[in-house]
Amino acid sequence: MALLKKKTTLDHVLSAQQGELDAEYMYEEMAKVVEGQYPELAEEFLKVAKSERGHYYVCKKITGKELTKPVPVKAILVSNILKKAPKVALKLVSDGEYDAASAYAPFILEYPSIEPVLKDEIRHGDKMKELSAKYF
């Protein structure tokens, strides 16, 4: 039955590919929030944004699809929280990174190119914790 069609691995990677686009946009928006007060922190966010773009391309190689529009929900939410409660925002982002790493785990056997992406997500999570402690 079409309605009960199971999500294929490729569907999951396509969702992840959209997630990478969304993450890139989120970090760019986060950089805008802090660039006036903490330019070096903004640079750190932009570095992670670039890394998310790299992940987007890893997924694109697998799916063969180009996506162009980030879903801005998380970017809006996180950058608003970042203005008032930066530690809370960075905790949300850090947790999201670890969740992203876990979400990639089932696919690394089939797509070994995803393994370095998974490891990057863990690094991003650790990085957000480190930055939170350093700046806030």
Chain positions contacting Fe ion, by CB under 5 A: 20, 52, 55, 97, 121, 124
Let me know: does 114 contact 68? Beta carbons within 8 Å.
no
Q: Which residues contact 89 (CB under 8 A, 6 or more apart)?
A: 30, 78, 79, 81, 82
* Shortest Å distance, C-beta 23 to Fe ion: 5
Cα–Cα distance, 95 to 62 (Å, whole number): 26
Q: Which is nearer to Fe ion, 55 or 74 (CB)?
A: 55
In whole angstroms, the minimum distance from the beta carbon of 120 to Fe ion comes to: 6
Q: Which residue has the tokens 């992670």?
A: 48
For Fe ion, the closer CB: 20 or 29: 20
For residue 83, the minimal CB distance to Fe ion (Å) is: 21
